[in-house]
Amino acid sequence: MNCVNKYLNHSYTYIESWYRGDYMGCPNIEVCPYINSRNENEIIEYKNNFCNSDYFKCARFIAGNITGEVPDDLRPDDFKEAEKIVRTDK
Ligand code: SF4
């Protein structure tokens, strides 16, 4: 399964659980390479600021939804790089 399909499948799962009212975090949290390849100390702030709250403000989430795929090492707060990725995805 490619990355785009993974994101889409998780998005559908998220929409279902959001509709039921039992999940409020980022729909990508289980498959997000940035979050799942680092230790908890490195990502706790990102999880607090994005993944478990305002995930729709995350650079990875925004760019990923526009382009379908983002580099594994794109930081959730690296909006400059996310903008470059979006601009070159034409
Ligand atoms: S880093 Fe961004 S895309 Fe990844 S799980 Fe957190 S909010 Fe979602």
- For the question of whether the overall pTM of this predicted structure is more than 0.85, the answer is no
Residue 35 in contact with ligand 1 by CB distance below 6 A:
yes
**pLDDT, tens only, 4-63:** 555 566 666 666 666 666 667 899 999 999 999 999 999 999 999 999 999 999 999 999
Could you please report the per-residue DSSP string of 8-53?
HHHHHHHHHHHHHT---S-TTTTT-HHHHTS-HHHHHHHIIIIITT
Given ligand 1 and candidates 11, 50, 54, 78, which is best to mutate, with the most ligand atoms within 8 Å of its CB?
50
CA 84 vs CA 18, 87, 90: distances in Å: 31, 5, 11
Q: Whose CA is nearest to atom 3 of ligand 1?
A: 61
For ligand 1, is residue 61 a contact (CB within 6 Å)?
yes
Ligand 1 in contact with 26 (CB < 6 A)?
yes
